[in-house]
Structure 1
Amino acid sequence: MGKFVNNVDEFFKFCEENEVKFVDFRFTDMKGFWHSISYNIKIVEPDQFKNGIPMDASSMDGWQPIDKSDMLMMPDVETAFLDPFTADPTAVVFSDIFDIYKGELYEKCPRSIAKKAMKYLKDSGLGDEAYFGAENEFFIFDNVKIVDSTNCAMYEIDTEEGEWNDDTNFSSGYNSGHRPRKKGGYLMTQPIDTATDLRAEMMQVLEQVGLDVMLGHHEVAQGQNEIGVKFGNLVEMADNVQKLKYVIKMVAQLNGKTATFMPKPLYGDNGNGMHVHQSIWKDGKNLFYGEGNYANLSDFARWYIGGVLSHARSVAAFTNASTNSYKRLIPGFEAPSILTYSSQNRSASVRIPYGAGEKSVRAEFRFPDSTSNPYLAFAAMLMAGLDGVKNKIEPAGPMDENLFKLTLDEIRERGIEQFPHTLRGSLEALIRDRAYLKDIMSDDFIQAYQHMKFKTQVWPYEARPTPYEFKMNFSC
């Protein structure tokens, strides 16, 4: 479906035709969260799209000190769409952050970093377009309880699909008994799949906000789902991930449910990934295509994969950006942590989809998840891949066997690297391995990002005892 407007004049005509009352200017912080300022349409002027809108950057974690807090939101008018959830007609416009002190796009603005990555690709001469396609898995739950206090820590989540509800007396007095069971939900239909109509509503609302929706289905775990949308260029796809997460969470909320993209909310069942398909094009040709080679991969594609895998331990700081991310990346749950590639094989970190022709050959990176900031995750993978092309880095593999069956000794014997096991590990790897990012991420940004992640994720997580630790250690 794409854009609704192409320029400022069309934007105001769009607002008039849709009787817009408010304009919601939104930007993304380093964590990947959306923030917004809503303006009455009466005072929105064309010059604001050129000159920017004031905002306080000191209130964003890791951004500006309070004595240099003034920044500008620079609206990208071509991203405008109607918010389907507000009571009064509201137009949403994505914005970049502009640094008034340096007179340039802000070095800590994720969307601006993604734009720098696209510019780097073009300036390098290696390609002129990077296409990304994200598959964001999510859970739909009926209820969530969380306690995090000095003397108590607990969570409890519930879905009517959970096998723990087999003997529950529901208020309706009826328990159907139809449930997907642990690891049993993939492509299930009603009555086992309880989210058919809810997904259909999500898919239709996603179309309303400009995404081309291709499919929806139940995923492997209890309460787990996926909705597939069409690929786009790097920035466009990152924008679409933000839209998709917003729509899915809001539609669930309005239906008395709650949706989460958290990687591993259920112990012992599959987790949520964000598989990311990638290819680089130049002069209208797919540079990943190499007829007759393994899986029709070109040398360019193989080196690109080699670059991402060789830098994967530091790339993980952006693609797997939470402590919970690494609970998903353990053997046995279709979440790969062995840094190799393969055709069709979902146990490898990089899969080459079956039957891809000249236009559709691509690499599917299977380790990322939706706790990542999509702008930073996509940009980091692109820069790592291009570093692989420039230096002709060969990836380990291909390996077409079930890698989940390999022991740690067998993995080491074959000289295959593994993904980091913790967020701390990936952040420490980023300290050692970040030269490939220097053209789009400043040292100041990387230091601020690392500090923010340690402060909000690593240190609080490491400081807290868990119920399992009590179970194992209380009687010692």
Structure 2
Amino acid sequence: MSNANVTSVKDAIKYAKEHEARMVDLKFLDFPGTWQHVTIPAHRLDEDLFEEGQGFDGSSIRGWQPINASDMQIRPDPTTARMDPFASVPTVSFICNVFDPITGQAYSRDPRYVAQKAVNHLKETGIADTAYFGPEAEFFVFDDIRYDLTPHSSFFAVDSQEGTWNTGRDERPNLGYKPSYKGGYFPCPPHDSLFDLRTEISLVLESMGIQVDAHHHEVATGGQSEIGIRFNDMLTMADELQWFKYIVKNVARRNGKTVTFMPKPLYGDNGSGMHTHMSLWKDGKPLFAGEKYAGLSDMALHFIGGIIEHGRSLISLTNPTTNSYKRLVPGYEAPVKLAYSSRNRSAAVRIPMYASSPKAKRIEFRTPDPTCNGYIAFAAMLMAGLDGIERQLDPGDALDKDIYNLPAAEAEKIPSAPGSLEEALEALIEDHEYLLRGDVFTEDVIETWVDYKLENEVDPTRLRPTPLEYQLYFDI
């Protein structure tokens, strides 16, 4: 339920009482980007909770404390109060910030704190006072997911009643209506079998105060979908992205389905991106509208220059999984070239041309995917853009050609996204000074991110044989 009138601790306590909350759920984000939570009885919801917080074991959270310094504390943000739509008894939910209980200081590895510092840094620069973000997090809805890993075997298998691979399956009866590979964009029911599910998700989002713009089937077969939500200021949008994922997954589950935000769960079809729209405003006025290319201002072009300049390191935070780079390949509408254009969806940065109003003028960074940690990814995008503005970086000429069909000599001149997570992390090691300004990111945050990703994702993926390797090499 919407919390539009909750602006203080007293408002939050009143909100919980008005909705007869019996439990209080405290949610916070781990380092990679997954919500964690602890639940307490409603009688504990008082002003002291917002000041003293709730303790937890930081050594059990991915990427955080060692066991010899494990005590941590979460403090609820009263303005984030919402009734959890999936709890069986009335439960008020808060998004929390993480603190060190010894020093009382905010925890530097808390992703929400990173985003808060980025917002404050923006204001301190005097360039703007508000950064608006609008992510489009695509996802797949499956009917079944199975996988297993052992030292001597591994497999995965996903299934969908609308997967084109099931056109010949005996479903007693098989009624057809299964979108083909790359054939899932905008078909009406009965081909779009997820119409009602997306509507149900949309209504739950709206009931939580998250405004839905539109929903539709996406390009891929097997249940790829998109539900667009209205842009918001950066921190609020990062909070709402967490609610978005939570709601999508839980509505799917209560309908006997499962959701993945993996960028590339299927071979041979389009992956899921998270095209992210951005604009800067000051004193209630848009700053990206002007008389330059595609109706942009000089500031907007410099912002794009920062995204392109730092694109390879930025992508380590906006596309943070090994699976991300199975999407970032030519041929599946993936924006692998660090260029900009109006209307051209094959460029990493696009300037949407749907509307001519200055208020609607924005840029769209198309490379990110929904496995990213929204707080960290949004903060990094903002910092890259601000660096471009402060240094007045020239993004070069717009690329309004079909990038995939350019002559090889011309295509080689355009910088490309990294080809792997390891390559992206190497770029982050070499280029992260722009993230450190205003103490938004710290060296510790960067080092921890790189070490965690290498140790827990890159190395295990590199070391494990795959079924494809058996097909290629077993009888060589």
Q: Which residue of 1 is the match for residue 200 of structure 2?
A: 201
Deviations 1:438-471 (A, max 9, x none): 1211111111111111122101110111111111
State the 1:4 CA deviation: 5.0
Change (3 A) 1:78 1:218: same
The match for 1:300 is 299
Contact 2:348 2:367 survives alignment (8 Å): yes
Aligned residue type for 2:53 = G
Q: Quick one: distance in 1 between partners of 2:52 and 2:102?
A: 15
2:186 paired with 1:184: no
The 5 Å alignment of 1:281-360 reads 281-290=281-290, 292-354=291-353, 355-360=355-360
- Deviation of 1:280 after TM superposition, in Å, equals 0.7
- 360-369 or 62-71, which deviates more: 62-71
CA separation of 1:27 and 1:405: change in aligned 2, threshold 3 A: same
Tell me the amino acid that sits aligned with residue 191 of structure 2: I
Give the corresponding residue for 2:217.
218
Deviation at 1:344, TM superposition (A): 0.7
CA drift at 1:61: 1.8
Rounded to whole Å, the distance in 2 between the matches of 1:261 and 1:49 is 33
TM-score normalised per structure 2: 0.97
In structure 2, distance between residues paired with 1:2 and 1:475: 62
Following superposition, the deviation at residue 84 of structure 1 comes to 0.8
Specify the code of the residue in structure 1 equivalent to 2:466. T
Distance 1:75 1:344 in 2: 42
- 2:431 corresponds in structure 1 to 433
Q: Distance in 2 between matches of 1:463 and 1:407?
A: 37
Q: State the partner residue of 2:37.
A: 36
In 1, Cα distance between equivalents of 2:365 and 2:277: 6
Cα distance per residue 1:155-213 (max 9 Å; x no partner): 1111111111111112xx11111111000110111010000000000000111222011
C-alpha contact (below 8 Å) 2:144/2:257 kept by paired residues: yes
Q: Look up the SS of the partner of 1:228 in the other structure.
A: strand
Helix, strand or coil: the match of 1:105? coil
CA distance in 2, matches of 1:381, 1:102: 30
Whether the 8 Å CA contact 1:339–1:396 is kept in 2: the answer is no
Q: How does 1:402-441 map to 2 (within 5 A)?
A: 402-406=402-406, 408-412=408-412, 415-438=413-436, 439-441=439-441
CA contact (8 A) 1:396 1:416 kept: no
**Pair 1:417–1:389, CA change in 2 (3 A):** same
Structure 1: 5+ residue runs without aligned partners?
none
Using the TM superposition, give the Cα deviation of residue 409 of structure 1 relative to its aligned residue in structure 2, in angstroms.
3.8
What code does the residue aligned with 1:314 have? S
Which residue identity is paired with 1:70? D
Rounded to whole Å, the distance in 1 between the matches of 2:405 and 2:268 is 18
Counterparts in 2 of 1:199 and 1:331: CA distance versus 1, 3 Å: same
Letter paired with 2:433: A
2:277 match: 277
The code of the aligned residue for 1:275 comes to H
Match of 1:302, as an amino acid?
L
Q: CA RMSD in A?
A: 1.2
The whole-number CA distance in structure 2 between the counterparts of 1:304 and 1:446 is: 22
In 2, Cα distance between the equivalents of 1:207 and 1:4? 16
- Counterpart contact for 2:3–2:82, Cα < 8 Å: no
Contact 1:199 1:227 in 2 (8 A): yes
Tell me the TM-score normalised to structure 1 length: 0.97
Structure 1 equivalent of residue 12 of structure 2: 11
1:401 corresponds in structure 2 to 401
Residue equivalent to 1:451: 451
How many residue pairs get aligned? The number is 471
Alpha-carbon distance in structure 1 between the residues aligned to 2:77 and 2:116: 12
The equivalent residue for 1:98 is 99
- Contact 1:183–1:270, Cα closer than 8 Å, also in 2: yes
Gaps of 5+ in 2: none
Q: Displacement of 1:110 after TM fit?
A: 0.2
Distance across 2 between alignment mates of 1:185 and 1:104 = 49
Q: Which deviates more from structure 2 when the two are superposed, residues 39-48 or residues 338-347?
A: 39-48
Q: Name the residue aligned to 2:109.
A: 108
Post-superposition Cα deviations, 1:226-274, rounded to whole Å, max 9, x if no partner, equal 0011101111111111000000000111000111111000101111000
Shift of 1:395: 1.3
CA drift at 1:408: 4.8
SS of structure 1 residue aligned to 2:146: strand
Structure 2 letter corresponding to 1:352: I
**For 1:356-395, what per-residue CA distance to the aligned partner results, in whole angstroms no more than 9, with x for missing partners?**
3211100000000011000000000000100011111111
TM-fit CA distance, 1:407: 5.3
Q: Which residue of 2 aligns with 1:48?
A: 49
Deviates more, 1:402-411 or 1:53-62: 402-411
> 1:264 is matched with which residue?
264
Residue 332 of structure 1 aligns to which amino acid in structure 2? G
- Quick check: 2:3–2:81 contact (8 Å CA) kept in 1? no
Give CA-to-partner distance per residue, 1:130-159, whole Å, 9 cap, x none.
000010101111111102111111111111
Q: Secondary structure at the match of 2:133?
A: strand
Q: Secondary structure at the match of 1:277?
A: strand
Structure 1 distance, partners of 2:83, 2:407, is: 52
> Would you say the 8 A contact 1:288–1:361 is kept in 2?
yes
Q: Distance in 1 between matches of 2:19 and 2:434?
A: 45
Q: How much does 1:55 deviate?
A: 2.0
Distance 1:460 1:408, change over 3 A: farther
Which residue is 1:249 aligned to? 249
| 1:44 CA drift (Å) | 2.1
Query: 1:2 Cα deviation (Å)?
Result: 6.1
